[in-house]
Amino acid sequence: MQRTVQRDISISGTGLHGGKPVRLVIRPAQPDAGLRFYRSDLDSFIDVSPANWVEASLCTLLRNEDGHEVRTIEHLMAALHGCGVHNALIEMDGPEVPILDGSAAPFVRRILETGLAETDAPLHVLRVLREVTVRRGDARATLRPAEDFRMSFDIAFDDPAIGRQSASMGLHNGTFLRELSDCRTFCMRADVEMMQANGLALGGTLDNAVVFHQGEVLTPGGLRRRDEPVRHKMLDAMGDLYVLGRPLLAHYEGVRAGHAVTGLLLRALLSDPRNYRVERCAPHLQARLPGVGTSLRDLPLSA
């Protein structure tokens, strides 16, 4: 059974890197259409696929053969993944997905408020058959075989307000909505100042990121969760893994991993056909995938 949105969902806002506001519309798509971006300002389609993934600073970026891009897609992709949306056309009149509050929750809310349409078309998933690992410096990401989709993550930062954090969970049903969807992107104040001095993250504010400085949380209202940073890393990975364009049966493990390492992991996974199999998803497995049985009641009050 495949799912798409019932009708158009329109969202506008400024991207993390600043610039003029972008209008984004999530449109219904036919079964087996998959996920696809359409840059209306360029009349250009960009498929959600590891073949179009390009390593970038601070975000997840897709680029087609014509050199046209969409960037900072990770929170939207996490929302689509977590809500179990398999087919959609995402139209944008600019290059960057709106950052909104820095989490996936605003996208999730709009998707669930609009509703989802189900079809009888069979769903195909990618099953990981053997362990695949990539490393870069002290960062590591691994995919292992599993009968559902689950995730473990470890981070370590010098700032005492973060320190070492770990989390592990199965992402079946509404777990993503309840446990991860409202967790916001985070950074150090010194990093923000350096990036903005170099023309980066010009759209970043205390309204769309958790900013830390010398053991303090500068963002008004503080943290939404005690371990919000590691949970946001899991949210990012949830979006980055959906660049596959289909659900995944695997256990993902990230250690200090970011967008680049997870993107490289997908490339490594697909580089050898012995690593995976695309198969028709049996009903008992589909019932354990993200998005099944979700509702607005699963969203945290902070979302």
Share of the chain above pLDDT 70, in %: 94
Q: What is the pLDDT of residue 128?
A: 98
Gap between the terminal Cα atoms of the chain? 28
Both tokens of residue 229?
């940073």
Residue 109 burial (10 A CB sphere; 0-12, 13-18, 19+): middle
CB-based contact 222:161 (threshold 8 Å): no
φ and ψ at residue 141, rounded to 5 degrees: -140, 140
Task: Give yes or no for residue 17 having a pLDDT over 80.
Answer: no
How confident is residue 181, by pLDDT bands cut at 50, 70 and 90? Answer: very high
Has residue 93 got a pLDDT over 80? yes
Per-residue model confidence as pLDDT tens digits over 33-75:
999 999 999 999 999 999 999 999 789 999 999 999 999 999 9
Rg (C-alpha) for the chain, rounded Å, is 18
Nearest Cα residue to 241 out of 223, 258, 263, 256: 263
Kindly list the domain boundaries of the chain, sorted by start residue.
2-298
Please give the DSSP secondary-structure letter assigned to residue 241. H
What is the rounded average pLDDT of the residues 263-271?
98
Fold for 2-298, please state it: lpxc deacetylase, domain 1 (3.30.1700)
Of the residues 86, 232, 251, 259, only one is catalytic, namely: 259
For residues 151 and 171, the answer to whether their CB atoms sit within 8 Å is: yes
Question: For this structure, is 259 an active site residue?
Answer: yes
Q: Of 51-60, 88-97, 166-175, 204-213, which range is least confident?
A: 204-213
